[in-house]
Amino acid sequence: MNRIAEFNAEANAVTDREHEEQLRLLQALSDAVERQAAASEVASMLEALISYSEAHFMSEELLMRMKSYDDYEDHQDDHVNMLTSMQFMAVAHEAGHTALIPGKVHDVLNFITLHIATRDKRLADYLRLGN
Ligand SMILES: [Fe+2]
């Protein structure tokens, strides 16, 4: 395996682990909302999810830029949409509009699952092909 292929394989492995962690954080938030956990617990889970997602999206975007990736703009739009939804949840939760949270968590979980299966998979395949 040459150096570019090694770098790309490692980048894909790191991204896979980050997706697992992101889904784990979202599922934990979903479970906490469902069992009506304390507001402070839900708030800190939202904060952890947002921080992790910001860092993860930034690293994916950096990788796409480094590789002059052709689907960068649409892919980044997805990231912006997901972060906006997460921030909306945090603001709604802070304002006490907790009834909005379960539906929004469900929407984000569906969106992110689709994003990983489509746009992130396309990026992983692009790197796997040695770009
Ligand atoms: Fe992505």
CA distance 127 to 129: 5
Domain of residue 100, CATH code: 1.20.120.50
CA distance 116 to 22: 11
Residues 6+ positions from 57 with CB-CB distance below 8 Å: 79, 82, 83
State pTM to two decimals: 0.93
Burial class (CB in 10 A: 0-12, 13-18, 19+), 17: exposed
Count of structural domains, the chain: 1
Predicted local confidence at residue 130, as pLDDT? 83
With beta carbons less than 8 A apart as the criterion, state whether 93 and 42 touch: yes
Radius of gyration of the chain (CA): 16
Ligand 1 midpoint to CA 128 (Å): 16
What is the arithmetic mean of pLDDT over 4-16?
90
Predicted local confidence at residue 82, as pLDDT? 97
Is pLDDT above 90 for 87?
yes
Ligand 1 midpoint to CA 57 (Å): 6
Structural domain that includes position 97: 3-128
Is pLDDT above 90 for 79?
yes
What is the arithmetic mean of pLDDT over 88-115?
94
Most confident of the ranges 1-10, 84-93, 97-106:
84-93
The CA-based diameter of the chain, rounded to the nearest angstrom, is 54
Ligand 1 midpoint to CA 9 (Å): 16
Ligand 1 midpoint to CA 19 (Å): 9
- Considering the chain, what percentage of its residues have pLDDT values greater than 90? 87
User: How many angstroms separate the first and last alpha carbons of the chain?
Assistant: 14
With beta carbons less than 8 A apart as the criterion, state whether 93 and 39 touch: yes
